[in-house]
Amino acid sequence: MFEVSARTDVGSQLNIGTPRGALTASRGKENYYNGLFDGQIDAGRYTIDNGSGGPGGGSFRAQFSIAPENFNWSLDPGFSSANWPDGLTVSWSGADRTGYVAIIGTYSLDGETCGGCSFVCYEKPEKGKFTVPWRILEKAGAGSTRFNQLGVTVMHRPSMRLSIPGFDVAEFVLDGPLQRKDLDWQ
């Protein structure tokens, strides 16, 4: 399943050409377009069009390419609950220069998370490294005896700007695969 938000009625469906074949997304409530998708985004050339258009926009066709990606990340091997005031350094490679990298941390006690004990930080992909400041770690729960684990999830979220007549901004955004690592917080 995939979802496209146009926030305006640009037609009854969007047609998406992928390296694997054609996909169709039908307009639903509030002009969200939904369709079946096997979950794999391949590198290659893509097209998107809306056929003859709709009340919110005329006919359009846009093309974009998705570059091959081999996104990998790691945590500073010396990080522990004893040195969290130095911050948590995350390094990555294999991300193209579009979009951003998201670093998400969630504290838990024996695998049970609390609702507000987390953080999200964003960085440009080309930086290749980000240190989560100690103040953010502290605000989310670092140093507390209420938690014994920190789960860190990092993903690259590439985006491609599209030129579509009648729209100030059009963008294809891809959520990369989520990769999580758990640290014991003793």
pLDDT at 109: 78
The whole-number pLDDT of residue 5 equals 57
Residues 14-61: tens digit of each pLDDT: 998 989 888 888 888 888 888 777 666 788 999 999 999 888 888 999
DSSP letter assigned to residue 40: -
**127 plus 47 within the same structural domain:** no
- Residues spanned by the domain of 11: 2-66
H or E element that contains 140: helix 134-140
With a cut of 70, say whether residue 182 has pLDDT above it. Answer: yes
Task: Quickly state the pLDDT bin for 129 (edges 50, 70, 90).
Answer: very high
Whole-number pLDDT of residue 165: 81
Q: Which residue has the tokens 């009854």?
A: 12
Same domain, 99 and 148: yes
Say if residue 57 is in the same domain as residue 76: no
> Model confidence at 9, in pLDDT bands (50, 70, 90)?
confident
Is the pLDDT score of 76 beyond 70? yes
Tokens 């990092």: give the residue.
154
Residues 77 and 58 in one domain: no
> Rounded to 5 degrees, what are φ and ψ at 17?
-95, 130
pLDDT of residue 89: 93
User: At which of 66, 87, 102 does a domain end?
Assistant: 66
Q: What is the pTM of this model?
A: 0.75
Q: For the chain, what percent of residues have pLDDT higher than 70?
A: 89
Q: What number is the average pLDDT over the span 68-85? A: 81
Mean pLDDT of 119-132: 94
Asked if 95 and 177 sit in the same domain, the reply is yes
Q: Above 50 in pLDDT, residue 1?
A: no
Rounded-to-integer distance, Cα 173 and Cα 152, Å: 22
Instruction: Determine the Cα angle at 113 with ends 109 and 118, to 5°.
Output: 110
Number of domains in the chain: 2
| Pair (36, 96) in one structural domain | no
User: Is 152 found in the same domain as 122?
Assistant: yes
Hey, CA dihedral for 76, 77, 82, 83, is it positive or negative?
A: negative
